[in-house]
Amino acid sequence: MNTKQLPLFPLNIVAYPGERVNIHIFEPRYKQLVKECMDEGSTFGIPVYIKNGVSDYGTEMRVISIEKEYAQGEMDIKTEGIQVFRVHEFFTRLQNKLYPGGQVESLENVEDADIVLNQKIREQLGILYEALKITKPLDFVSTFEIAHHIGLNLEQEYALLRQKHESARQQMILEHLERVVPVIIETERLKEKIRLNGHFKNFDPLEF
């Protein structure tokens, strides 16, 4: 097992590999973290803060750019996810630093996507988007790309992050969609029925 020391920025979000995350930095400890990442070309990690604690899993991030700096020293930064890690030891402060860190192990991402599962996910997404009248393109390469757009809660997004096999993530997403899509369809049908209630309607004549 190979571990490394990584600066950590716990947040109440799940960041995925390949995802762009915009962050507003205002605490002195994280200003220091960002400055050092920019100066040294180093990375940091976002472990998920969940159930009132720092979780064991997160995503290593690189700072792409500082988009805006404020007079008080605050800043807006753009970051990008690189890979998932597991925290083996968490430190509330790294030595001689203001910010926390940890000994982490980078986890392998097993690209074993199943073609059949992929097609079923696309079909469910098509039904979902049609019900919600969304015209967003359905193109995606991995489950990480759509995980934030299918109504998962934080715990479910975190469970997805912990799965190292793409096929397992596909199965989790498909099962979620198969549960929620019928509910959403019925909810949208009910909303339309309520909207039309009281309106004048044209009925086709009945034949006896």
Tell me which residue has tokens 């991030």: 61
Angstrom distance (rounded) from CA 184 to CA 66: 39
Judge residue 9's burial from the number of C-beta atoms within 10 Å of its C-beta, 0-12 exposed, 13-18 middle, 19 or more buried: buried
pLDDT higher than 90, residue 23: yes
Residue 51 gets which letter from DSSP?
T
- CATH 2.30.130.40: which residues of the chain? 4-106
Reply yes or no on whether the pLDDT at 74 is more than 90: yes
**CA dist., res. 98 & res. 80, Å (int):** 23
More confident residue, 140 or 44: 44
Burial of 197 (0-12, 13-18, 19+ CB in 10 A): exposed
Kindly report the CATH class assigned to 4-106: mainly beta
- What is the average per-residue pLDDT within 87-102? 97
